């Protein structure tokens, strides 16, 4: 009976350790899901994948400095373009309109999809949260 328990515990430990080491590894761009590859080609046609990592989702870094995170299913989680503008197609139009009307000299350089709506960061350092209807929730500087 002790041998069976020991074997079961050893198998569970082995499975857990394999699961832990499976995440957080660098993968070739060719192994990215089709949805991720299509997203990059569509929204960043001038850039190429510098490297990709499989962790809780897919972390993709482009050769222009852009960092994009996707869920395991290949859906966009967030994009950080550093000091370049996030492609307009990724930001809800009502959010873009708010930024243009209130901060005409600022660019949206980071976009983060959230359950409640989204969070953006502007080139002037302001961080804003919007609900799912595009209404401003908060501003952080």
pLDDT, tens only, 87-114: 999 999 999 999 999 999 999 999 999 9
Contact 40, 27 (CB under 8 A): no
pLDDT band at 141 (very low <50, low <70, confident <90, very high): confident
What is the predicted pLDDT for the residue at 19? 45
What would the pLDDT profile of 29-77 be if each residue is shown by its tens digit?
Answer: 999 999 999 999 999 999 999 999 999 999 999 999 999 999 999 999 9
The structural domains of the chain, ordered by start, are 2-140 (3.40.1420.30)
Q: How far apart are CA 133 and CA 54, in angstroms?
A: 32
The DSSP annotation for 67-98 comes to EEEE-TTS-EEEEE-TTSPPPGGGS-HHHHHH
Partners of 120 in the β-ladder: 111, 128
| pLDDT confidence of residue 24 | 81
pLDDT for 5 equals: 56
Alpha-carbon separation of residue 37 from 26, 64, 80, 90 (angstroms): 16, 16, 17, 16
- Order of strands, sheet of 58-62, starting from the edge strand that comes earlier in the sequence: 25-27, 49-54, 58-62, 67-70, 76-80, 108-113, 117-122, 127-131, 136-140
Overall pTM > 0.95: no
């Amino acid at each position: 009976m002790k041998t069976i328990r020991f074997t079961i515990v050893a198998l569970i430990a082995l499975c857990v350790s394999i699961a832990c080491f499976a995440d957080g590894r660098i993968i070739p761009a060719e192994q990215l899901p089709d949805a991720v590859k299509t997203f990059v080609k569509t929204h960043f046609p001038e850039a190429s994948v510098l490297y990709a990592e499989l962790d809780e989702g897919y972390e993709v870094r482009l050769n222009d400095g852009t960092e994009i995170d996707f869920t395991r299913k290949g859906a966009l989680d967030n994009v950080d373009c550093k000091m370049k503008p996030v492609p307009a197609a990724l930001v809800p139009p009502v959010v873009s309109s708010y930024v243009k009307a209130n901060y005409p000299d600022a660019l949206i350089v980071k976009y983060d999809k959230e359950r409640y709506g989204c969070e953006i960061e502007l080139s002037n350092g302001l961080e804003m949260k919007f609900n799912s209807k595009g209404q401003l929730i908060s501003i952080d500087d």
